[in-house]
Structure 1
Amino acid sequence: MTLAIGVPSPETASRQSSALAVVAASAGAFALLYPDPFADAFFAAWVLSVVGLAVVAAVGAWTNRTPLVWVAALLTTGLAILGMMSIGLFVAPVALLLILTAGFSQAAGPREGVRESILTDPPSARELLLKALAGVGAVAAGVGLVYFGAVARPLFGACARETLSCALAKTHWGAVAVTLVGLLSLCLGVWLVWRQSYVARVLGSARSGYRAK
């Protein structure tokens, strides 16, 4: 589907840029990790996490799940900033492509039928408020858990040589579990807040259109 001859629609553009991001991340990971991918297990984990985030963003772009794309894009951008002195040059092009993907995905709008389903069975203002507050609570809890699991104490112990076997042996799995739960809570909270905001906008525009008539 195109807006005009030779001009791709936002949906098509988001899918194309997400595919480019996956290719760029995979090619960069191969270049950085070849020929011994797990010689430095921690370095490999960071590099492969960029590939994983690119794949997540691509799934979001191809299924019109814009919040998923934004989460992956912002996390990748954060990695690019944090790794500026190491893998930043590898992460930066991927982060840029994912930011473009998120912008195109935002312009493309929601999946077909989402707006209609909201208008068919609209939630009450109380429901919207309670879900938004639950989202804010989930974000706060997620931030706290991530801080407790990954910042207040280290996720990994020191290794003389950071091989995969040493990394697995020195990993503080309890802290990793807390951090993962925190990230899931953070993502869920952001999605809940974004969802209620979108529902409120749909209902508001529908009421405005009705009054205009």
Structure 2
Amino acid sequence: MGLLDTFAAAYSYLVTHSDEFLGLLEEHLTLVLVSVGLAIVVAVPLGILATRNERAKSVVMSVGNVSQTIPTLAIIALVFPLLGLGFLPALVGLFTYALLPILTNTVAGLENVDESTVEAARGMGMTENQILRRIKLPLALPVIFAGIRTSAVLNVGTAYLAFFIGGGGLGVWVITGISLFDTPQLLAGAIPGALLAIGLDSLFALVEGRLSGESAAGQSPVSG
């Protein structure tokens, strides 16, 4: 079977199993978006805390580094006695894996804000919280979003592992296709995942651009 025939067979498999595909895609997308969303909620405040206290920074970055080095399946194995099989343990593993890129980029973005800009804001009487909200975060936004985009793309691929603990997602087709030497089924699960990663990266880039534009237009050191 030639390459074009293989892709045609994968497309045919996807079309003939479209209802199942939509269900798996929804599960996959939910795992990625919820895990990254939770990681943003946790990692951005921790990154802000880390820039304000060196001891906190050491602890936060150490925890972030550990979370990245532990394989997702190992995390799933650790939480399995508490959470069992299914969506939740897969979500915990993906959430843990998504933390570090967002955390490190938040710290880097905030710490790399030009100090002269910060000092000028202090000279105008702005408090540290005002400086954070109106100066540092808007300027650090592109770097923070780079971490979010990295986490989203990584988790699209990592979410395939949810299959092993009954978490669903496109890994059902990919792992089953590998086990059965069914290349069309494998590609029918893998290609949409690659397109999903590209799509999410583009979506977050668009959101970043909109937010950066609004921050530049609507905020200034001297505005109330």
TM-score (norm 2): 0.36
In proportion to residue count, which structure has more helix?
2
TM-score by length of structure 1 reads: 0.37
